[in-house]
Amino acid sequence: MNREYLQSTQDINFKFYQNERDFVVDEIPLAGFLGRGNYLILHVSKVELTTWDMIAIFAEFLAIPAEKIGYAGLKDKHATTSQYLSVETKYENLLKKFQHKQIKILSTIRHSHSIRMGDLAGNRFSINLHEVDNIDAGKIEKIARKIAKTGLPNYFGYQRFGRDADSINQANEMIKGELFVEDAKLKNFLISIYQSYHFNEWLRERVLLSKELGSTELVLLSGDVYQLSDKKLTIPNLVPNKDFPMKGAVVTGLLCGRDTIRAKGAAREIEVKYDDEFLQEKGQRREALIYPSDIDCKYIRKETMLNLSFTLPKGSYATVFLESIAGRNYSAKDVKMKEKKRK
């Protein structure tokens, strides 16, 4: 499963590693917190833990079910990350005693309701790129800013599919009825993998078509479905089957399933190859392009290192942005740094 990109790079070489020093992620909340209410919002940082691991630690400390702890999104394990959690205010005094070597409570504030999945605007990334000379540093910044203008294909990153992408095979076997999965959480996870894989393959074909037509931007087709990016507009969020792009709208791809809009015309001819209309899970549309913002580059010549900072909307992958810059695909093995090299 390869991810194709729109911009052609000129042999840019760099290495990056997912660890607590070189990969930093900060969650951006959807809106400000009120400072009053029945819930306590925790701004927390964690190192070398998944979000699930961290929630389990808090749940054990507070002696409550993990389901009682609200969160907006999942953050990388092999990184330093910050995000927001919510608990009832009755645990405020107990949390003052909380200590853990991999978790730090940065601040707390009260709010009127708990945090729900998806309650975030995006994520701010700060990533160190290694073995970069000053010429490549300039190339990286130039192409990063170009991608920010023309759009980044919004693939699901390699992290979505597990090591060696073994979960894709399990998902396909389950959908075909060749594998029985009793655990509801695992079943839902494999369905999401199935949907993500087909979205990625659809997007890859659309990118390849655009490149064949000589475009460095995603070529739009008759019958595409657009999503309005301007949240202030009161017209429906999804605009189906348009023959031309609308102002403030981004073309979307299908996460196959029931009860969602399908493309028509030329767009549907490609989409149908990656659709499964018999899937009982609810379908969705996902933006085909995203636009990285607030790009900042700092080159440290002595260390041949470029720090690249940028903001992405929720649900998108920083590693996809790096792949687009480098013009290559990465895997979990490529970005793992041995301990002895980090000293």
Active site residues: 76
Give the DSSP letter string of 250-275: EEEEEE-SBSSPPP-HHHHHHHGGG-
Residue type, 77: K
- Tokens (6 digits) for 79: 């990184």
**Are 182 and 146 in contact, with CB atoms under 8 Å apart?**
no
Amino acid at 248: G
Max distance between CA atoms of the chain, in angstroms, equals 62
**Strand blocks (E) in the chain:** 15-16, 23-29, 39-47, 70-71, 80-88, 103-111, 120-130, 152-153, 224-228, 238-242, 249-255, 284-287, 289-290, 293-300, 305-313
List for the chain the helix, strand, coil content (%; round to 5). 35, 25, 40
